[in-house]
Amino acid sequence: MKPNVSLGQTFLAILISFIFITITSLSVLLGAVILPLVVYYLLNIKHKSNYHFWLIFISFMLPAFLFLTPVVWMWFVVLYILTAVLYHTLSKGFSQELTLFYGTFALMLSVVGGLNLLQMTGIINPLADTYTDVRNWYVEQVEDVDVLNFAALDADLFRTALDQLFIQLPAFITVASFFVVLYTVLMLRLLLQNKELQAWPYMSFKDWAFPRFILYLFFILYIISLFTSNDDTFGTIISNAYVVVEWAVFLHGLSFAYFFFLEKKLNKVVAILLLIPLAILRPLTIIIGLLEMVFRFRLLMKQKRK
């Protein structure tokens, strides 16, 4: 039988969660940095007692509804959803790669759903209104710079670029969610060493290979995007889907580059350092990913090795 969770551990979990939410409310970046530590503690609580895990949730949410802002308890709900999903993948023995998939979409859907709920209830201003204010301020700065002749900047082009970024906000939230979950999972691997709760089985980054279906989806979305506009809902969906698939191709290209360097007997440290310029030169890495998917260089090199 799993040991019960003491009252002290319960209160400590509530305190840790409150500190995390307070920091996240001030800075999402700092919140993401300490996220693995909070998730690790909650994972241990859930592993020992599912009852105490949800008791902590209820114990925090009840006063939060009464005394704290909705943004605070939204972050707490997001934290609990992510922890529950990660624990499920651990208990079921899912691979690390499948965990990244589940964790990414759980975090993305939680954040997007929470933001929509806060907007619908009028707790926060519509993001479109906030974005319009920020965009107008930036455009004013660009126009001022142009007037002072410090640089020749096209205000209309700048405004269009900002509009495109806002339209693709769900896609960028998805990409950001992936990297937050990746960081969290990698940190949890270190924290879960020699513990009752075993970390996920995983494959090396050099073996990360997305299915060829991603290649077909990339070109289908690209062709459709040529005949759609971001002014309608369908065009917005296509635009966001294209960004997410493009990032998948980017990771595929980066993985293949790492595989190629190791196949050429480069030192692992040198191979990792060579990935840095490829990560910066994202368009080049996307082309590498597309070429690998088309010609299957990885498979040919493996066959040649045999």
pLDDT at site 1: 38
Structure tokens at 78: 């997001």
pLDDT at site 36: 93
> Does a structural domain hold residue 273?
yes
Length of the chain: 306
pLDDT of 117 > 60? The answer is yes
Mean residue pLDDT across the chain: 86
> Does a structural domain hold residue 54?
no
> Does a structural domain hold residue 59?
no
Overall domain count for the chain: 1
The predicted model gives 215-229 an average pLDDT of: 91
> Does a structural domain hold residue 276?
yes
> Does a structural domain hold residue 248?
yes
248-264 pLDDT tens trace: 999 999 999 999 999 98
pLDDT at site 150: 47
Distance CA 103, CA 250 (A): 20
The predicted model gives 195-220 an average pLDDT of: 88
> Does a structural domain hold residue 73?
no
Structure tokens at 215: 């290649």
Structure tokens at 204: 């090396």
Q: Which domain holds residue 243?
A: 203-306
256-303 pLDDT tens trace: 999 999 998 899 999 999 999 999 999 999 999 999 999 999 988 888
> Does a structural domain hold residue 147?
no
> Does a structural domain hold residue 167?
no
62-87 pLDDT tens trace: 887 777 778 787 888 999 999 999 99
The distance from CA 280 to its chain's CA centroid, rounded to whole angstroms, is 18
pLDDT at site 284: 95
Q: CB burial class (10 A; 0-12, 13-18, 19+) of residue 301?
A: middle
Distance CA 253, CA 251 (A): 5
The predicted model gives 89-94 an average pLDDT of: 90
